[in-house]
Structure 1
Amino acid sequence: MAGLAVPAVLDTLAVSDLHITVLEWVDSDPCATPDWFGAGRQVRALHRLLPPDLGDIPAPLWFSSRLAKARRRLAAVRGGSLAEAAAEVIESHLNRAAADQTRRPVQPSTVLHADLHSGNLRQGSAGPRVLDLDSVSTGPAVWDHGPLLLEERHFGTPRSTYDKFAEGYGANLRDSWCLEPALQLRALACTVWVHTLAPTVQVLEQRRTRTAYWTDADTTPWSGVGQMTGDPSAPRAAGPAPDRSERGLGAVERTDRPSVLEVLGPPC
């Protein structure tokens, strides 16, 4: 599809009840500064699609589903890696974000990437590529603007990053009245999520830093605990790799089930 560069699909496989999409290797430098203007244009192309263009894609209640996930994770770590007193504070902020969201006007729905942090925008040799479309769904466009603004607010990303992205997108939603509840929910989810990870030195430091933002108004910048700023990957717990044969995953078979990327088509 013109304007949207995504990795080409090489194969689709089925391993038991798991569906795996094999993508082309994207030749990119993870340390290179992406073309944020070009990335904004690509996201705009995605948002211009109509849900029928992608066939049967999920249409979750974009805010309530993320809120429910954050609450489930909070319940799992409460009194464990996250002290009860801190959990109460975070829970109150989750409730406040939920109440704030109900006061916002209903927003038009579009096709979303739904996980558009900077780690999923890579600068390839042919320009910026949008990666990891596993979460493609529908919802308000502001949700895809949130991650870069979250990184600006909490991770120290330069203000110019989002401004260039917004220029390419054709609209700057920084001051959108509908944005704040989404930003709050994302930040709270990032805080709760880090308490679910294996306790490495880096993870423990981020647990303290992120929790202190809510409990003590500590504005120390956050840092990623994976390889990329947007926290797309969690460090693995220590121990041997799982034996797949014991998990009964079964044989690998090719499948005719199309992926979102196959529907989108080859990179432009």
Structure 2
Amino acid sequence: MSTHGCGPWATTAQRRWRSRSATSSTPDAASTRASMSDDLPYVIQPPADAGLAAAAAAEAAARWGLPSPQHLRTGMNALFATGEEVILRVCHPTAPASQALWLADRLRERGLRVPRFVRPAALEAHGLTVFAVERLHPVGEIDWREVGSMIRSVHEWPAFEVRGRYPLPRCDSFPWWDAAAALTDVSDLLDDPARAGLEAAIGQHGGWRQRVAARVVCHGDVHPGNVLQTADGAVLLDWDLTCHGPAAWDHATVMTWPRRWGGEPTMYTRFAEGYGASLEGDALAESLATMRNVVATLMRVRAGRTDPAAAAEAQRRLRYWRGDTDAPQWTAQ
């Protein structure tokens, strides 16, 4: 349920980055991205041109002596398989590639299981960055206790050790979390009952920022799509939204997944056991869980303007906000 992406409610910092990133193929690209790394998460938008992403992957595969890349999927990153052992990750980062390599090394030093980069440096091609990452293969069900334990280690990592070495924006600065602006943007696509339900949720939970008392280093997007169970144990994927926020930020999605996304009923219980504390019932965590669902719904509604599949999923989600007691579980897209 990655809820990030550029939209008409983008902040000034995001617009400034998009303007600067137009020069990303120039020799100054790395320094430009470095100057923005305190403003934004590591990745905030997908590669704009699928053809250029494929060309960048092909160039990287040729340079590194890898098999011809086969496109797997594109979200915020375009992923290409090159055989059974390597994935090429093509992205448009806001900070230098070296920072992602640094983060992976430090996380492993802290005992976390994360994907390994299989080349010591990234390749820059066609204004995009290409990483070669080990291809992982799923084995069995996710061990959520292990995930909770790893997230606890992330939260105990002093922020000063990360800041300046990898983007660590405040989570409340994410532009796509301006729920009021997002609601206004898609108001013409909503019926009155759906709009009223969303407005009520925002009214009750939208003031969560004023209740944040302490901040920790957060993964930023913990959910089943970003965890892979391997023969060696659970692996935490996708650190693009690493941020500085309340511990509840990383609990909220796991809390809401069984409620609205069809997750295994005990996944949060097991996550909390591994973490060492449950935030279920905590006012801030519950507000964040609700607001994550609000944001996820509004982004599907917006995407539905041009994407029929997104429009269909948006209608599934809106049934819940209308108060439909038979509202179906949601599907992550």
Other-structure match for 1:121: 227
1:152–1:46 distance in 2 versus 1, CA, 3 Å: same
TM-superposed CA distance for 1:215, in Å, is: 2.0
3-state SS in 2 of match to 1:33: coil
Q: Distance in 1 between matches of 2:163 and 2:172?
A: 22
Quote the residue 2:317 is aligned against.
Answer: 210
Q: What is aligned with 2:38?
A: none
The answer on 1:112 being equivalent to 2:218 is: yes
Cα distance in 1 for residues equivalent to 2:274 and 2:197: 38
Distance 1:52 1:19 in 2: 26
Moved more, 210-219 or 41-50: 210-219
1:48 corresponds to 2:153: no
1:63 aligned onto 2:172: yes
Structure 1 residues 26, 207: CA separation in 2 closer, same or farther (over 3 Å shift)?
Answer: same
CA distance in 2, matches of 1:20, 1:176: 41
Other-structure match for 1:183? 289
Q: Residue 138 of structure 2 aligns with which residue?
A: 28
Q: Is the 8 A contact 1:209 1:218 kept in 2?
A: no
What RMSD over aligned residues (CA atoms) do the two structures have, in Å?
2.5
Q: Given residue 28 of structure 1, which amino acid in structure 2 is its aligned partner?
A: P
Q: Does structure 2 retain, via aligned residues, the 8 Å contact 1:40–1:166?
A: yes
Gaps of 5+ in 2: 1-108
List aligned pairs for 1:37-186, cutoff 5 A: 37-56=145-164, 57-63=166-172, 65=174, 68-80=177-189, 82-83=190-191, 86-87=194-195, 89-99=197-207, 102=210, 104=211, 106-186=212-292
Query: CA shift at 1:75, angstroms?
Result: 3.5
* Compared CA separation, residues 158 and 144, structure 1 to 2 (3 A): same
Task: Check conservation: 2:115, 2:134, Cα contact below 8 A.
Answer: yes
Amino acid at match of 2:227: L
Instruction: Tell me the distance in 1 between the aligned counterparts of 2:208 and 2:159.
Output: 28
Q: What TM-score comes out, normalization by structure 1 length?
A: 0.72
Q: Which has the higher contact order (CA 8 A, sep 6+)?
A: 1
1:209-240 CA-to-partner distances (Å, cap 9, x unmatched) read: 2112112343523231xxxxxx2xx4xxxxxx
State, as a whole percentage, how many aligned pairs show the same letter. 27
CA distance in 2, matches of 1:72, 1:14: 35
Instruction: Note closer, same or farther for the CA distance 1:41–1:84 as it changes in structure 2 (3 Å cut).
Output: same
**Alignment coverage as a number of residue pairs:** 219
